[in-house]
Structure 1
Amino acid sequence: MASNHDETARVPLLGLVGGGLGFVLFQATFGFAGSFRAALEQRDFSGFRAQALALALTSAVFFPLLAQGNVFGLALAGFVTPIGVSFVIGAVLFGAGMQIGGGCASGTLFALGGGNARLVMTLAFFVFGSAVGAAHLGFWWPLPRWNSGTMQDWLGWPAALAVHLAIFGAVMRAIPAPSPTRRRPSLRSLVLEPWPLAWGAFGLAAMSVATLLLAGRPWGETAGFTLWGSKIAGAIGFDPGSWPYWQGQQASLSASLFADITSVMDFGIVAGAMLAAGLSARFAVRSGGGARAWLAAALGGFLMGYGARLSDGCNIGAYFSALASGSLSGWVWVAAAFLGSIIGLRLRPIFGLA
């Protein structure tokens, strides 16, 4: 088992990994909410092609590592979530929220780092919705659910990986590749110029593997938001330690945010995106629209926060990292989020959003 000293040393390293994620997300404009919107409105599935590439690369490393169970004395575990009523409802709410709010969890953080001030409202209500969702889980958790497990449980990891790679390969073959670029990676292009989505896929895969090796579990984001919201709730007189979500982990509520791996990585994503925006001269503070757009940011943020708690994650934890872990719940989440995105897109005109 890893020592406390080892764990303390890993936190700043994971902050740097978060910075790398923010840098990659901004440089490649690797947004998940945008890929859902582009697919539904324009029949442009290039974002999902890039996600399939990133998932194939990540799964190829995750599956054997998770089967091994540990590395360098650090226990490894994937993200595996039961599928049930609350999970599906949460994914639908999240899908609607990310279209109304202007970004998903990762998109909110990297766009905020790029100077989009409206995402401050989205993030604030994301945190609020996460805390409210955590407080309500005593109602949602008893509803019917099925412990889905992973594809590895059914097939063993080699066969499960082959199936995953076949699925992701089929997605990439079915979606036309973007026009080939003659750019070759160089220090200048990596730092100063926007990236093709394929470069972003390789970067996200590398950072995801680094997260697993350092944290012992995949990349996630919204647990940090829940912690922030719960700490605020405690400061104003509520008792988040009594909420079912925090049973067995109340110590996190009294510990520093900088001791929480997810929070440190979230901070790193904003900082990494800000660095990328500054180096490439693309940092620009902008209001992001009028009063209705800010109202949409608040509503979208709340729906995402609440939905993420019901589905135990967002487009990263419940979708990307879940599928990279082999969890069957990841496929259900993306289908439910598509439904939610359809609803969210129909609501966007109410808020004056194109």
Structure 2
Amino acid sequence: MNKNRSGLVLALFIFAGFLLWSVSIRQSLLFILGIGLGLVLAGMRFGFTTGWRNLIENRDPSGVYAQILLLGIAAAISLPLLAAFPTELNAALGPPSISLLVGALVFGAAMQIADGCGSGTLYKAGLGIPLNMAILPMFALGSFLGSVHLGWWLELGKLQPVSLLSSAGLSGALILTFVGLAIFAGISWWWSKGAKVARPAFNKTLLIGAVLLAVLAVTNLVVAGQPWGIVYGFGLWTAKVAQAANLFDPSVNTFWSQATHAQALQQSVFLDLTTITNLGILAGALLIFSGKKSDSQSKLTAKQWLVGILAGFLLGYSSRLAFGCNVGAMVSGISTGSLHGWIWVVLAFLGSLAGVRIRKHYGY
């Protein structure tokens, strides 16, 4: 182990100890879980965005198959846990709404242009990739502004959140979830049949990553009492800065005046569940990066930088409207039985079809 990595490991150990001593054992455990998530995402280059783009451009389904495996394992464990502990554990439920439709569609396009979703932006920033490092603060700003405007968007039309677990029971929720995943797998297989170059349908590294991420995501549910999320932490960071600078009054805002969010603004950021796992993901990616050169990235033009940063802002804004990104809406939504997760996937994939074209147009 090189000196840089040894020093970083020591710093992370000290920070985990600080959380254990000064905050809570849960926050310390969540930070360690976040490190594990970052190590898997960065070490195995498990990209939700890349998996979709490879299917669209190259008709390579291996990344999507790995994501389906992740969803299947997480759902098979999470749904029974939620049924057994309905008061202790919460599902990632979001309301079907105009904001969900618009947000998911825009997010799908923006993540292809920015080459990263919520988790992808985090771990690639941790790997020292310049564009993603610049996108991260814009993602946070967009997430905050999306939360500020969310009340207006919801007034355009919404339904109550739909839980498959509540509507169909445990058996019904499991059946519906696995039928849905089988349909997605079938569509991916059909799409890949037109590939000009034959490729292996399965990638061993990605499949191992899927299993590990599923286990870590379920563990996060058990420890935190809520599913793995990314976006909320980004918005909270910016909201705290805006409030401290007297640029924002949360008491008159529909979203931030709600009791849970108002409390998050008043208390230490180290008490926020999503923030701690986000910091862990960054730390895990830094462990992979330390002592190495940054992933190669061709020199970008001024226009490419501008388009990429704008896409990063839209990532944050749209993810708040859509009640999550690939993690919060897709992985956590589908694995805990939320209808909005399925709606998100369909709209986000349609957005990705456009996003891939836009990305190619600007020469990324």
Q: Could you state the TM-score of these two structures normalised by the residue count of structure 1?
A: 0.87
Alignment partner of 1:139 is 2:161 = no
Equivalent position SS for 2:255: helix
Q: Give the one of 83, 90, 112 matched to 2:103.
A: 90
Structure 1 partner of 2:200: 178
Alignment partner of 1:114 is 2:114 = no
Q: Distance in 2 between matches of 1:23 and 1:344?
A: 28
Equivalent position SS for 2:24: helix
Q: Give the one of 324, 330, 337 matched to 1:313.
A: 324
Structure 2 partner of 1:233: 242
Deviation of 1:243 (Å): 1.9
Structure 1 partner of 2:272: 260
Q: Distance in 1 between matches of 2:276 and 2:110?
A: 24
Deviation of 1:291 (Å): 2.0
Structure 2 partner of 1:246: 256
Equivalent pair of 1:149/1:327 in contact (CA under 8 Å): yes
Deviation of 1:212 (Å): 0.5
Q: Give the one of 36, 48, 71 matched to 2:52.
A: 36
Q: Distance in 2 between matches of 1:50 and 1:100?
A: 22
Q: Distance in 2 between matches of 1:235 and 1:41?
A: 45
Q: Distance in 2 between matches of 1:93 and 1:171?
A: 21
Equivalent pair of 1:117/1:288 in contact (CA under 8 Å): no
Q: Give the one of 67, 81, 91 matched to 2:94.
A: 81
Structure 2 partner of 1:103: 116
Q: Could you state the TM-score of these two structures normalised by the residue count of structure 2?
A: 0.84
Deviation of 1:236 (Å): 2.9
Q: Give the one of 342, 348, 358 matched to 1:347.
A: 358
Identity across matched positions, percent: 38
Unaligned runs of at least 5 residues, structure 2 = 1-20, 193-198
Equivalent pair of 2:163/2:339 in contact (CA under 8 Å): yes
Equivalent pair of 2:125/2:132 in contact (CA under 8 Å): yes
Q: Deviations over 1:250-273 (max 9, x none)?
A: 121132222211111111101101
Deviation of 1:127 (Å): 0.7
- Structure 2 counterpart of 1:274, which letter? L
Q: Deviations over 1:317-354 (max 9, x none)?
A: 1111000011111111011111211222232245332x
Q: Distance in 2 between matches of 1:119 and 1:337?
A: 20
Deviation of 1:124 (Å): 1.2
Q: Deviations over 1:291-332 (max 9, x none)?
A: 222212211111111101111111111111000011111111
Equivalent pair of 1:27/1:200 in contact (CA under 8 Å): no
- Structure 1 counterpart of 2:212, which letter? G
Distance 1:137 1:202, change over 3 A: same
- Structure 1 counterpart of 2:321, which letter? L
Structure 2 partner of 1:192: none
Distance 1:285 1:263, change over 3 A: farther
Equivalent pair of 2:23/2:271 in contact (CA under 8 Å): no
Alignment partner of 1:64 is 2:80 = yes
Distance 1:45 1:309, change over 3 A: same
CA RMSD of the aligned region, Å? 2.5
Q: Distance in 1 between matches of 2:128 and 2:297?
A: 6
Deviation of 1:6 (Å): 12
Equivalent pair of 2:62/2:201 in contact (CA under 8 Å): no
Equivalent pair of 1:131/1:230 in contact (CA under 8 Å): yes
Alignment partner of 1:155 is 2:165 = no
Q: Deviations over 1:131-172 (max 9, x none)?
A: 111121231121211224122223211232133234434555
Equivalent position SS for 1:312: coil
Equivalent pair of 2:82/2:90 in contact (CA under 8 Å): yes
Q: Distance in 2 between matches of 1:288 and 1:128?
A: 25
Structure 2 partner of 1:302: 313
Structure 1 partner of 2:282: 270
Q: Distance in 2 between matches of 1:221 and 1:246?
A: 17
Equivalent pair of 1:135/1:240 in contact (CA under 8 Å): no
Equivalent pair of 2:104/2:348 in contact (CA under 8 Å): yes
Deviation of 1:81 (Å): 0.7
| Number of residue pairs matched by the alignment | 333
- Structure 2 counterpart of 1:156, which letter? G
Q: Distance in 1 between matches of 2:56 and 2:102?
A: 20
Identify which range, 344-353 or 18-27, moves more after superposition. 344-353
Distance 1:240 1:178, change over 3 A: farther
